[in-house]
Chain A
Amino acid sequence: MKVLVCVTQTLEVSTYIELTPDGCAIDPAFATALVNEADLCAVEEALVLVEADGGGEVVLVSVGEEGAEQALRSALSLGPERAVRVWGEGVVLADTRSVAGALLACIESEAPDLVLTGVQSSDTGAQSVGPALAAMWGVACVPVGRRLSTSDSTLRLEREFEAGLVERVEVDLPALVTVQVGANTPRYGSFKDKMRAKKADISVVAPSTLPPSRITLTRMEAAPTGSGRSLELIEGGPSAVATRIMDLVREAQS
């Protein structure tokens, strides 16, 4: 079985931020880049599926420039065989439909049995790339999935809804699943895999056709601080904190 996993880089930003001069991105000095958490769960899910299937291949794909390259190298260290980066003129990273269109180029050349994405990018959380990509590819999409298993060309899994509702479903392959955060505990990859990931040759493909972009990110701004609540910090160490919490509990219980 061949599983293609879409991975992306996400940013963890500090409390104080500055934007890039065009006002459309975070100045990198105020952010830490990581592989998207849900995508690591997707990679783990793919590795386990292929192992259980008795062989096959896990291929990673990311759309973007240096950030995508870094995300692919980190995710390769978990053990997937190969990684492909998609980039070319006209790709708009802020438009999830454009990203999905770019990913489609890779699906066409790789012809996977299953495509996994994360449920969402943890920083800009659109929950859109997976469902858009499935629609473009013309296969069924199962969002917010976990506990994947296959027999012959049927995929079984659980999908999640609000308030803890879980539906066990099956679909015929090929299909696309968006993997839920925390679906599993991603492995740390061996030393050998880490060295291999560092040196891996990551090919770059250009998307052939892209959907027209119907949305434009025009500007960002730092959010007004505060949620209407003003924070009071408790000083004086753990015992002072515990005493204060106990006072609050008694007050709320009375």
Chain B
Amino acid sequence: MTRSLVLAEVVDGVLAPVTAQAVTAAVSLGGEVVLALVAQDPQSLVPDASLIGVTEIVTVAVPGSDRDHEQSLAAAAALVADVQPDQVIAGFTIRSSAFAAALGHKLDLGVITDAIAVYRDDSQNLVATRSIYAGRVRAHVVIDGARPGIVLVRPSIWEPADPGGSPVVRVLTVEIPTSRVRTIELVRPSGGVDLSSADVIFSIGRGAGSQENVANFAAMAAKLGVALGASRPIIDAGWLPAAHQVGQTGSTVKPRLYVAFGISGALHHLAGMQNSRTIVVVNSDRNAPLFDNADIGAIEDIHDVIEQLTLLA
């Protein structure tokens, strides 16, 4: 029988949604599913982590924060030694990516990140499917069947496992080394806009070209009463505050209408807006990947369209 070790994603002491999705991925492989909770107070996470399909929960109490990836590495290595899984599954997130490859090196295991499917082939090898080249290609990667593999699963692909399971809970004690990465300060994003509750979002990307264009766009959005989103380069350029960023490292949004102006549709951006009800894209390049993920598209210069919109606003 196969056994999966799922490493929970803990953010600010709370179980992140990708954990329940990773459990579903593990359950689909059959066998036992052991869910590991590595946190300062792992016991407090047990109720949320008691998901259907989880056979056992192993808690590891650690001194540092959930951002300490050297701590995560030490805990994960001890968990693999203890649980002896056939596969280790975690979310493809910044926290997990920070240690997964190091874990692969330390234990001599194959690592596949950003998987959108996992299964066992006819020879019982673990196979993960990756979506690459802006989502245009699927690559099938096999982990040598003789050894466990580490798979990081892309968020929002698997349905979350339901609460209401009754797994056995067990404590594992792990010696944690002091991290070589020392925290000086934690900076939380400044507020200002709440994109998560907006019905309509107009989002602007690198196609805007200048700060002045972004300012004009912001004025038009305000006049129409729609929320203002942006892709990351706009934030990096300092043209809008970070609270406007949509995507993996920004906000996840689900408006009724999302209109993207001059945004190419990188996976990191899609991660934050692909569940919007209606997606409209305005881009002069028909080859932009966002067209593959939109309901309505216009192959136009955004400046011309914004000029026309301003007349109607």
Give the B-binding residues of A (Cβ under 8 A).
11-15, 17, 26, 94-97, 100, 122-132, 134-136, 139-144, 156, 158, 160-172, 175, 181-183, 211-223, 225-227, 229-234, 237-239, 241-246, 248-249, 251-253
Contact with A along B137-162 (1 / 0, CB 8 A): 11111111001010000000000000
> Which residues of chain B (169-191) have a CB below 8 Å from chain A?
179-189
Whether the pair B250, A164 counts as a contact (CB closer than 8 A) is: yes
Which 10 pairs of residues, A with B, have the shortest CB-CB distance? A214-B110, A164-B189, A242-B308, A182-B236, A135-B102, A140-B180, A132-B101, A238-B304, A252-B257, A215-B110
Whether the pair B182, A171 counts as a contact (CB closer than 8 A) is: yes
Contact of B251 with A by CB under 8 A:
yes
Q: Looking across the interface, which residue of chain B has its beta carbon closest to that of A127? A: B97
The answer to whether A225 and B187 touch (CB under 8 A), given A160-B94, A216-B142, A217-B139, is: no
Whether the pair B142, A140 counts as a contact (CB closer than 8 A) is: no
Whether the pair A123, B132 counts as a contact (CB closer than 8 A) is: yes
State which size class the interface on B falls in.
Answer: 35 or more
The answer to whether A142 and B300 touch (CB under 8 A), given A124-B133, A231-B295, A242-B311, is: no
Contact with A along B41-79 (1 / 0, CB 8 A): 000000000000000000000000001011000000000
The answer to whether A13 and B245 touch (CB under 8 A), given A131-B102, A238-B305, A253-B200, is: no
- For the residues of A in contact with B, the DSSP-based class is mixed
C-alpha gap A231/B70 in the complex (Å): 45
Q: Looking across the interface, which residue of chain A has its beta carbon closest to that of B66? A: A161
Whether the pair B308, A241 counts as a contact (CB closer than 8 A) is: yes
- For the residues of B in contact with A, the DSSP-based class is mixed
Whether the pair A230, B295 counts as a contact (CB closer than 8 A) is: yes
In the bound complex, residues from chain A placing their C-beta under 8 Å from that of B132 are 123-125, 220
C-alpha gap A168/B185 in the complex (Å): 5
Could you write out 16 A-B pairs with CB less than 8 Å apart? A100-B101, A127-B114, A131-B100, A131-B101, A131-B102, A136-B105, A164-B245, A167-B186, A168-B187, A170-B181, A214-B111, A232-B295, A237-B300, A242-B308, A249-B200, A253-B200
Q: Looking across the interface, which residue of chain B has its beta carbon closest to that of A14? A: B287
Whether the pair A169, B183 counts as a contact (CB closer than 8 A) is: yes
Whether the pair B309, A252 counts as a contact (CB closer than 8 A) is: no
C-alpha gap A153/B75 in the complex (Å): 29
C-alpha gap A89/B38 in the complex (Å): 40
In the bound complex, residues from chain B placing their C-beta under 8 Å from that of A163 are 189, 249-251
Whether the pair B105, A246 counts as a contact (CB closer than 8 A) is: no
Give the A-binding residues of B (Cβ under 8 A).
11, 67, 69-70, 92-95, 97-102, 104-106, 108-114, 127, 130-144, 147, 149, 179-189, 199-200, 224-226, 232-233, 236, 242-243, 245, 248-251, 255-257, 259, 266-267, 274, 278-280, 282, 286-287, 291-301, 304-305, 307-309, 311-312
CB distance from B145 to the nearest CB of A (A): 10
Whether the pair B101, A97 counts as a contact (CB closer than 8 A) is: yes
Whether the pair B293, A161 counts as a contact (CB closer than 8 A) is: no
C-alpha gap A239/B136 in the complex (Å): 32
CB distance from A185 to the nearest CB of B (A): 8
Q: Looking across the interface, which residue of chain A has its beta carbon closest to that of B139? A: A220
Q: Looking across the interface, which residue of chain A has its beta carbon closest to that of B73? A: A135
Whether the pair A128, B137 counts as a contact (CB closer than 8 A) is: no
List 13 extra interface pairs beyond A123-B134, A128-B111, A214-B149, CB under 8 A: A17-B133, A122-B266, A161-B95, A162-B93, A164-B245, A168-B183, A169-B181, A215-B149, A232-B297, A233-B298, A248-B296, A249-B224, A253-B200
